[in-house]
Structure 1
Amino acid sequence: MRSSPERSLAAYTAPLAAVLAVALTLLLPDNARLWDALNRAMPGPPDPRVVVVGIDAASLRDYGRIGAWPRDLYAQALSTLNEAGVSAIGVNVLLSDPAVGDTRLQQTFSQPNVVLATAPDEPPGATPPGWTSPTGVSALNIGADGVVRAFQTAYARADDPAALTPSFARQVAVAAGRSVPLDVTPRILRYRQPDPERLPVLSFRDVVNGNVRYGDLQGRVVILGLTADGMGGPVVRDTTGQVVSPVQLQARAVSSLLDVPFTRLPWGVLAALGALAAVAAVLARGLWGFGLATLMLALAAPLWLQNVLLPGVTLSLCAIVGTVMVMLERAWNLRHLTTRDPLTGFGNRVAFTRAVEQRWQSRAERPLGLVLVDLSGFRKVNDAYGHAAGDDLLRDLSERIGQYRRRGDLLFRWGPDEFAVLLDNAGPQELAGITQRIQESLDTLTFRDVPLRASVGAARTGPEIRSPTELVEAASRSRYRVKYQRLQRT
């Protein structure tokens, strides 16, 4: 059965929407702004496993400028932390410049649970001689707006891009017992709710003096770094827009590595979901595509809670692509509604008139042929079984006629039970052959107990045909002769 012309284009728009959706998933695999919003709206719970020891304003007042105080203070702080039973310590302070007394600190900074920070432009292991603690690059993925949304477990070396240098957060997580692969792919930095029952940062001065509760530190991962304001470092913000010290962001990076990592959907799965959303929008039609787009966007929230990164904006756009295809399809249908028969998809009399006028001037080089088909008994089918049955009969008839259409030929519904075929460049024998085949095909047309009879006539342009009207009249006379002869034989 031939579908209505409004539906027929879905065979073309659905694959096109799928292709566009796959391309869209390739161009927009990430939705940074969506994940920013989810990070703010659904932060992770407070992480008691990670503790920040901050070099705050009080510590600087007591010990002076950070680059000038004796490094034995770090040894005292690390001694307190180890006595408290911490599992790992990350020192997010650059200690690569040699200083007096570094040799005395070899034992302190050669422990496997102590991680030292290095600058991004420093070679691996850029620490004073004799210090063997693991090192990591203290870097943050700062956006153009000053917001840190992601971090990496490794960075490419400037002197050898093929070689990778571990990040500071990764090394601390490894020291805490977590297996973390080296990867330059940015990972989302999970925002966490502050714990109202705990101080957000322990003072470095208090740790040096031993004025801390060991119970707050036992089994914890400690990140030590500068938290005092106005020290000339870069001003960075988290996803909430708040100014946060780099050491606190490093602590969040460590927490993210200690948690179950976010899972990114493979591109093949993402492409399949995008194509499915686009095709579903095409098949659903109407405003259902916008509902599907909303659903794709809404699914990102529950999956975020399951640590799955769903690019809901991209998938939503895929569904909208399908909806746009439906809108374009309907615009095309509306444009051609005045020249198309909605039941069969054939052109109507207006379309026939335009087609003949366009081709008439070239009839000498490309003769036109016209086949007219008349069906007797159609009204009896409508009267006996209803218009739905009559529609089924006309669709069957139109499919039979369409089987003999050549390239360049045009089909028209001439009247309620009449059809026309306008043949392009039709020779006499070819016209007679097509007419005979159509007649033989329609001779087998039946509908239940209603007798049906089809009459097929044809005409061709020539010297005696001087206008389109004369061509129609000649084909009509041929059809009436056939009809009369068939009546005489019954």
Structure 2
Amino acid sequence: MLRSPDRSLALYTVPVAAILALLLTFILPDNTRLWDALNRALPGAPEQRVVVVGIDDASLRDYGRIGNWPRELYAQALGTLEQAGATAIGIDVLFSDPARNDSRLADAFSQPNVVLATAPGESRQLASPDWLSPTGVSALNVSPDGVVRTFQTGYPGTPETQGDASPVTDSASAAAQASATLHPSFARQLAVAAGRNVPLDTQPQLLRYSAPSQDRLPVIPFRDVVNGNVRYGDIQGKIVIIGLTASGTSNLTLRDVTGQVVPGVAMQARAVSSLLSPPFTRLPTWLIALMAVATAVSAVLARGVWGFALALLMLALAIPLWLGNILLPGVTLSYAAILGTALVALERWWNLRNLSMRDPLTGFGNRVAFTRALEQRWTARAARPLGLLLVDLSGFRKVNEVYGLRAGDELLSDLSGRILKHKRRSDLLFRWGPDEFAVLLEGASVQDMTATTQRIQDALQELTYRDVPVRISIGAARTGPDIQTPTDLVEAASRSRYRAKYQREQRG
């Protein structure tokens, strides 16, 4: 059975499964839809340390269009927030155009715990050079489907000129120059201002979704802050972000993983909350590749429908790992398991397709396969002569009668193994009958015929099963002028076998 088609194909399906699983790892490294579903189903706890101050419709009615109102309003709001004990304050409003009295904001906009937003692609484009507060790029990563799933702590940009531009001479200087080309994000700067150490990195980080808190108002109106009409307990020790929340500002709204339209300032608040929470860990590519290969190969070796069970297990495993802040590409691993199962199905289809051409006990071709092989090679017999050996086993029926059919199967397996071991590489083997085998030799000379016959004869000379003697008779024939059809070749080999059997019995 070791040479049966069902087993031999595993030598091919296992490495193919491993290779395809490796390719799948690089084709599908991220599982966006799975992580969206987990983000919605298992949201993070509302971050109590982040508060949004919204420039809402009421604030715009009081102060007019945001681009025209006095900027001193921001200074008043900052004064209220400072008195209330805010840890860090972010203003997610772009001040790129100068206005009157900007110099009066120098004190308010030069505090280290105040972060000012800049537009993407601009390292520090503020209305006044007197504003010295740290700045951050107000950007988030919008997917092609319009959903914000990730953000970065740093965004590439043009390096700023910093004093003497001396050449890079060592790795430390190279790293410093490389980091100078990254502009920190608005969310990162707020987390740093709040005392969190957050490195600059262009690697996208997952934006953690959190359900709205029922214990507090989601947004504090900006005009209430300007007027000092706020509870200090809502502000003390918090990170406050000021931004536009008024309706009709579609250019400042984004969609989250739930499909809801959310103001950009609320998204920035989620980014800050994500930085304050334990970060999600992405598994290294080599580990994902190893897991995918192991899953696909396991599905092939398990056979049956176990591959689908493995696929479900990989998806289910993503849930506890998500709760442990580990991003498992469960869909990729699930596809690897299904891929292995598909190879098992392909293998079985191939086996069923070839079942009528194979002997299930020995793995040799059957008589139908012999006829097709002989007919396919017959037209080229002049250039590549064909030889045929017919091996007859005497004593097989007695083994079946005395020791049973299982013993007969063992005898045939032993016999087929010996013939397989002593044939030429190009020779084809067939089970001709219940106790007969055929060896088809292509491009066989007379010397090849003689040598192969002798090797097989010597290998089977002492073949016995327990106390039952077994005798072998081999008939040989080769194409030539007197062989006109495949039937002639078979009959010639049969006559040679009968002569060999008769001579052995006469000697016997």
Short-chain TM bin: over 0.9
Partner of 2:438: 420
Q: Deviations over 1:119-150 (max 9, x none)?
A: 11323353521211111110122233332111
Shift, 1:234, TM fit: 4.0
Question: What CA distance in whole angstroms lies between the structure 2 residues aligned with 1:350 and 1:452?
Answer: 27
2:350 paired residue among 332, 339, 347: 332
Maintained 8 Å contact 2:122/2:157? no
| Percent identical residues | 69
Partner of 2:375: 357
Partner of 2:267: 249
Question: What CA distance in whole angstroms lies between the structure 2 residues aligned with 1:481 and 1:186?
Answer: 82
Shift, 1:227, TM fit: 0.8
Partner of 1:13: 13
Shift, 1:257, TM fit: 1.0
Shift, 1:196, TM fit: 0.6
Question: What CA distance in whole angstroms lies between the structure 2 residues aligned with 1:211 and 1:447?
Answer: 103
Maintained 8 Å contact 2:102/2:127? no
Question: What CA distance in whole angstroms lies between the structure 2 residues aligned with 1:384 and 1:204?
Answer: 100
Q: Deviations over 1:411-452 (max 9, x none)?
A: 100111111100001111111001110111122434333322
Q: Deviations over 1:214-241 (max 9, x none)?
A: 2222221111111111135244211111
SS across alignment from 1:379:
helix
Q: Deviations over 1:176-216 (max 9, x none)?
A: 22222222222221110111111101111122222222222
Question: What CA distance in whole angstroms lies between the structure 2 residues aligned with 1:235 and 1:125?
Answer: 23
Q: Deviations over 1:369-397 (max 9, x none)?
A: 11111222323333344333332332222
Partner of 1:398: 416
Q: TM-score of the superposition, structure 1-length normalised? A: 0.95
Partner of 1:66: 66
SS across alignment from 2:251:
coil
CA distance 1:444–1:297, shift in 2 (3 Å):
farther
Aligned residues between the structures: 490
2:208 paired residue among 190, 197, 222: 190
Q: How does 1:219-238 map to 2 (within 5 A)?
A: 219-231=237-249, 233-238=251-256
2:353 paired with 1:373? no
Q: Aligned Cα RMSD in Å?
A: 2.0
2:482 maps to amino acid: E
Maintained 8 Å contact 1:373/1:454? yes
Question: What CA distance in whole angstroms lies between the structure 1 residues aligned with 2:77 and 2:25?
Answer: 50
Maintained 8 Å contact 1:125/1:135? no
CA distance 1:372–1:3, shift in 2 (3 Å):
same
Question: What CA distance in whole angstroms lies between the structure 2 residues aligned with 1:179 and 1:329?
Answer: 55
Partner of 1:100: 100
Partner of 2:173: none
2:293 paired with 1:275? yes
Q: How does 1:71-150 map to 2 (within 5 A)?
A: 71-124=71-124, 126-150=126-150
Partner of 2:166: none
CA distance 1:88–1:386, shift in 2 (3 Å):
farther
Partner of 1:240: 258
Maintained 8 Å contact 1:146/1:235? no
SS across alignment from 1:290:
helix
2:463 paired with 1:463? no
Maintained 8 Å contact 1:91/1:116? yes
SS across alignment from 1:244:
strand
SS across alignment from 1:194:
coil
SS across alignment from 2:93:
strand
- Of 447-456 and 254-263, more deviation after overlay is shown by 447-456
Shift, 1:62, TM fit: 2.0
Shift, 1:113, TM fit: 1.4
CA distance 1:389–1:112, shift in 2 (3 Å):
farther
Maintained 8 Å contact 2:424/2:452? no
Question: What CA distance in whole angstroms lies between the structure 2 residues aligned with 1:448 and 1:203?
Answer: 98
Gaps of 5+ in 2: 161-176
1:389 maps to amino acid: A
Question: What CA distance in whole angstroms lies between the structure 2 residues aligned with 1:380 and 1:88?
Answer: 96
Maintained 8 Å contact 1:374/1:456? yes
Maintained 8 Å contact 2:98/2:128? yes
CA distance 1:257–1:448, shift in 2 (3 Å):
farther
Question: What CA distance in whole angstroms lies between the structure 2 residues aligned with 1:102 and 1:309?
Answer: 46
Maintained 8 Å contact 2:389/2:493? yes
Maintained 8 Å contact 2:110/2:133? yes
2:210 maps to amino acid: R
Partner of 2:282: 264
Partner of 2:22: 22
Question: What CA distance in whole angstroms lies between the structure 1 residues aligned with 2:252 and 2:106?
Answer: 31
1:52 maps to amino acid: V
Question: What CA distance in whole angstroms lies between the structure 1 residues aligned with 2:375 and 2:249?
Answer: 84
Question: What CA distance in whole angstroms lies between the structure 2 residues aligned with 1:232 and 1:193?
Answer: 22
Partner of 1:284: 302
Q: Deviations over 1:153-198 (max 9, x none)?
A: 1112268997221111111111122222222222221110111111
Q: TM-score of the superposition, structure 2-length normalised? A: 0.92
Question: What CA distance in whole angstroms lies between the structure 1 residues aligned with 2:86 and 2:473?
Answer: 98
Gaps of 5+ in 1: none
